[in-house]
Amino acid sequence: MTSTQLFGARTADTSPESAATGRAARRKHRSSMARRRSLAARYLGYVGYFVGAGLISGAVVHHPLDPDRYTRIAAYGALVFLAATVLNEFVLTRERPGLPRLLLVMGASLLLSFGIGMLSGGLQHFDDFPARGAVLVPAGLVVSFVAYVIKDADTPARRIFGVVGLAVLVTATVAFLGLREVAASMESTSAGGHSHGTAGEPEADDHAPAPTTAPASPGAPAPGASPTAKPAPAAPSHADGHAH
């Protein structure tokens, strides 16, 4: 073997350009991952879940009081929750899912946000809206479980109908029956709870005696007169024929 062949083989194995290119690529990859998994991004993604669910929970419970206002609040909460989902599931992750998975996760996340909002809002304001809370709590439990199973990539969708899904359904049914009885007893005994800004008019007392207006008799004293006041004496009459 000639010296040229020996030097050529050695140069191909220990090329400084290839080593530098490999190190630069690794540094670029590490810096990119560090930026994507920064503390601020992870914090915003974590807080976004709770803020979005909190807005939705308040809007779902108070919606009958002002539908237009609380519909907007629910929409804002859904947008915040979806933004947190995009940040956590697609920006801070190492693997980017395809378009079908993206749409599935976004839809499941939207459903999950409303399920959590129904569950937490129904529990928080059960004393204020017993009948509504008795429906929101079990419904939120079922909706949030189904949405979580769909959203979780490591859990097959058929697990919804498995043992855990059956346990969630039984729990929701028992919760609905029990909370409905509690709500009925609360509404029958008291109309408590805060008004959330709607001031109700005081109810009229049905047992109060109705005022009666009787015609005043000629000899009855005036309402403002003293009961002991005596009528003025009449002037004495003279029968002598001439007037005084």
Q: What is the pLDDT of residues 89-98, one digit of tens each?
A: 888 887 777 8
Greater pLDDT, 74 or 197:
74
**Does 22 score more than 60 pLDDT?**
yes
What's the confidence (pLDDT) of residue 212?
53
**pLDDT per position as a tens digit, 139-188:** 999 999 999 999 888 888 888 999 999 999 999 999 999 999 999 998 88
Q: Is residue 183 part of a domain?
A: yes
Q: At residue 6, does pLDDT exceed 50?
A: no
| Sign, Cα dihedral of 74, 80, 84, 87 | positive
> Residue 69: how many CB atoms within 10 A of its CB?
12
Residue 116 counted as domain residue: yes
In a domain, 138, yes or no: yes
pLDDT at 61: 87
Is residue 135 situated within a structural domain? Answer: yes
Residue of higher predicted confidence among 216 and 50: 50
* Residue 114 belongs to some domain of the structure: yes
pLDDT, residue 127, reads: 87
pLDDT at 220 over 90: no
Q: Are 97 and 105 in contact (CB under 8 A)?
A: yes
Does 215 reside within a domain?
A: no
Q: What is the pLDDT of residue 179?
A: 92
- Does position 24 have pLDDT exceeding 50, yes or no? yes
113 inside domain: yes
* Assigned domain for 44 exists: yes
- Its domain, for residue 174, covers 29-188
Lowest mean pLDDT among 52-61, 129-138, 194-203: 194-203
Q: Give the pLDDT confidence score for residue 136 in this predicted structure.
A: 93
How high is the mean pLDDT of the chain?
76
pLDDT category at 200 given cuts 50, 70, 90 is very low
CA distance 150 to 101: 10
> What pTM does this model have?
0.59
Provide the domain count of the chain: 1
For residues 224-233, give the mean pLDDT.
Answer: 51
Looking at residue 155, what is its pLDDT? Answer: 83
Banded pLDDT at 201 (limits 50, 70, 90): very low
Highest mean pLDDT among 2-6, 8-12, 110-114, 170-174: 170-174
**CA distance linking residue 170 with residue 180, whole number of Å:** 15
Q: What is the mean pLDDT of residues 198-212?
A: 49
